[in-house]
């Protein structure tokens, strides 16, 4: 019997859904899943018809238990650096930097790299029974996929340090009160609520939504330079002066700019 796909993908009415599909391993991330996430993020980013993204997982026990320890435990220091930590940063960064807003639908546990994956999404909706933790210090390591960077921005320094330095888990009501998740809903309503939010986003003007996301990310210090250059290039690149400049270059003559 063929092994089930570890990541599922579907698109409907402008909403892309990525499903982590390794429930027997609590959807822990291995190299195959990182490869799959990277490919799907690139596919979504290139598709102008996709307006929102839902990231969810199979089963009710876990959204994602984090990185599969078997995938990295035997790595040497250099391997950990350039094939695991660095790559995870790159992939999670691409998810966070998608033009389209993303929503994590969290059932069960979101621990370690699983919580860091959810933190890379724009919105997080969780079942009322969900649990959250960055427990790396309890196994003599540290959060490696942006947890120490994104979590303090989201819930504040003191609460982030409490989670990271104790390794303690928090429940969904606490996560909602701290601002780690947007909403906690009954498990039976989780998919419905994530889809409602995605459809609301997808119904709005996509350029406005995507620009607004970029502006808010820039305000938080994420890709500020790229955002400024993108907006400036869009504004200046299609003025009458820009048209004149390109024409003058093609005709090998001095341009006549008018400030329009």
Q: Give the tens place of pLDDT for each residue, 119-147.
A: 999 999 999 999 999 999 998 889 988 99
Q: Which residue has the higher pLDDT, 111 or 228?
A: 111
- Its CATH class, for the domain covering 7-202, is alpha beta
Domain ranges of the chain: 7-202, 206-251
What pLDDT score does 54 carry? 98
Using CA atoms, how far residue 80 sits from 145, 172, 243, in Å, is 12, 32, 50
Average pLDDT of the segment spanning 114-123: 98
pLDDT tens digits, 149-167: 999 999 999 999 999 999 9
Residue 219 buriedness (CB in 10 A; 0-12 / 13-18 / 19+):
exposed
List residues with catalytic annotation.
116, 136
């Amino acid at each position: 019997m063929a092994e089930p796909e570890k990541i599922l993908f579907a698109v409907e009415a402008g909403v892309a859904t990525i499903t982590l599909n390794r429930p027997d391993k609590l959807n822990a991330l291995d190299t195959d899943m990182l490869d799959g996430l990277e490919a799907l993020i690139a596919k979504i980013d290139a598709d102008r018809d996709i307006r929102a993204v839902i990231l969810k997982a199979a089963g009710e026990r876990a959204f994602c238990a984090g990185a599969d320890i078997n995938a990295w435990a035997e790595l040497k220091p250099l391997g950990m650096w350039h094939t695991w930590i660095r790559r995870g940063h790159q992939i999670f960064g691409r998810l966070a930097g998608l033009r389209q807003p993303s929503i994590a639908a969290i059932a069960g546990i979101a621990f370690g790299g699983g919580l860091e994956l959810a933190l890379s999404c724009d919105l997080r909706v969780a079942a009322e029974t969900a649990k959250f933790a960055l427990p790396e210090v309890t196994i003599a390591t540290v959060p490696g996929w942006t947890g120490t960077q994104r979590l303090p921005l989201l819930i504040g320094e003191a609460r982030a340090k409490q989670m990271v330095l104790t390794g303690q888990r928090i429940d969904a009501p606490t996560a909602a009160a701290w601002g780690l998740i947007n909403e906690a809903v009954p498990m039976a309503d989780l998919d419905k609520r994530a889809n409602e939010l995605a459809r609301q986003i997808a119904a709005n003007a996509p350029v406005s939504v995507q620009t607004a996301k970029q502006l808010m990310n820039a305000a938080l210090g994420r890709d500020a330079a790229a955002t400024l250059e993108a907006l400036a290039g869009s504004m200046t690149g299609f003025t009458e002066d820009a048209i004149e400049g390109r024409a003058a270059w093609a005709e090998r003559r001095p341009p006549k700019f008018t400030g329009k």
